Amino acid sequence: MRRRSNKAVDQAEVNMTPMLDIVFILLIFFIVTATFLQEQGFDMRPPESDPDEAEQTEPNPVILVQVDAENRVFVNQRATSEDRVLAAVQRIRADAPRSAVLIEPNDEALHGTISTIWDDMRSNGISVSIQRPRGEDDT
């Protein structure tokens, strides 16, 4: 019988050097071509306190404008006409310039009266809001 020769089987080996060269070249390419942006963040430091504000502890007064069911207008519980509301508010704001206006309309008051007062305040740069009158039930 014939003997078979036991030759060592050559195992195929893959040369990794060219592949590593390509990977490093690509890495260098992407690092060089990438744009590095400086991200803008929020300033998390609290604002410095103003010594003038620290002395001012009382809140800003509110000017109350009420419109009743008969469309009578009251500014801080003083009767006035719809046309004179702005003048009355400006007189009060002369003493307290940071005061805001709160309108309390009755459910039966005309919408036109309320919107006229609102528009007068907003067009003159006066902060205004509307609130239901106190003591009214939700019926």
Which domains does the chain show, CATH number per domain? 57-130 (3.30.420.270)
Mean model confidence pLDDT for the chain: 81
Q: Convert the pLDDT of each residue in 6-32 to its tens digit.
A: 666 677 788 888 889 999 999 999 888
pLDDT band at 139 (very low <50, low <70, confident <90, very high): very low
The three-state DSSP-derived secondary structure of 73-130 is EEECCEEECHHHHHHHHHHHHHHCCCCEEEEEECCCCCHHHHHHHHHHHHHCCCCEEE
Whole-model pTM over 0.95: no
pLDDT at 65: 92
Using one digit for the tens of pLDDT, what is the confidence trace for 86-120? 999 999 988 888 888 999 999 888 888 889 998 99
